[in-house]
Amino acid sequence: MDDCCVDAADGADRYEPVFTGRFAERIARRYAKDGLTPPERRIVEFLADEVGVQGATVLEIGGGIGEIQIELIKRGASASVNLELSSAYEEVAGRVAAKAGTAHAMTRRIGVDLALHPEAVDVADVVILHRVVCCYPDATRLLAAAAGRARRVVVFTHPPRDPLTRLAAASGNLLMRLQRKAYRGYVHSPDAMVAVLEHRGFEARYRQRAGSWRVVGAVRA
């Protein structure tokens, strides 16, 4: 099948064999031990300190166990919605949110691909995609849909588009092919992704490195 044309039915096949319960448990252990990772911290600091999240609604696409949402709710966000194409996080996510005391403000939806069905998701003040555009074949369509659902700001992270990252993605994809898994990683053009948001009225005011990730924060101009 052409990679440009993933549909909702492919979502579970594509993501669930890779983003498993074990993956979720690993993230939860790391979060319990060390808190947010450097890119996650940058996202939360940008939103809480530079944009302001008091009373804000948050939509996270591919938010995994939901640790960024938890931290934003602790800093005053009123509610979050998490969209996931893998159902494997749910048990762990429920446990982590209950422990944090934020479960009452968090909604989780499985199987809604925002790029294909943007109208199926409510608009939010803040839209986040952390480590997601590099898992999705059509970053333009996904970011355009994200911009369409964001009242104030879109934040996304992406890997740098350098030879080393491209080699790592190609090797990872070869491994996936050999294992007969449908998942593929992508190293999309950072400037093209930013342009998608700019064409929809956002200004990329924040572009920072955080470890091996780049963080982009685009505010509605």
Residue numbers 139-178 binding ligand SAM by CB under 6 A: 142
Under the criterion CB under 6 A, does residue 202 sit at the interface with ligand SAM? no
E strand spans, the chain = 57-61, 79-84, 106-110, 124-129, 150-158, 202-210, 213-220
Residue in 6, 77, 5, 14 with CA at minimum distance from that of residue 48:
77
Residue numbers 64-123 binding ligand SAM by CB under 6 A: 64, 83-86, 113-115
Q: How many CB atoms lie within 10 A of CB 76?
A: 12
C-beta of 61 vs 218, nearer to ligand SAM: 61
Under the criterion CB under 6 A, does residue 206 sit at the interface with ligand SAM? no
Under the criterion CB under 6 A, does residue 217 sit at the interface with ligand SAM? no
* Shortest Å distance, C-beta 43 to ligand SAM: 10
**Single residue of 108, 130, 141, 149 touching ligand SAM by CB under 6 A:** 130
d(CA 168, CA 187): 10
Instruction: Give SS3 for 26.
Output: helix
Residue nearest to ligand SAM (CB): 62
Under the criterion CB under 6 A, does residue 41 sit at the interface with ligand SAM? no
d(CA 140, CA 137): 9
Binding residues for ligand SAM (CB under 6 A): 15, 19, 27, 61-64, 83-86, 113-115, 130-132, 135-136, 142
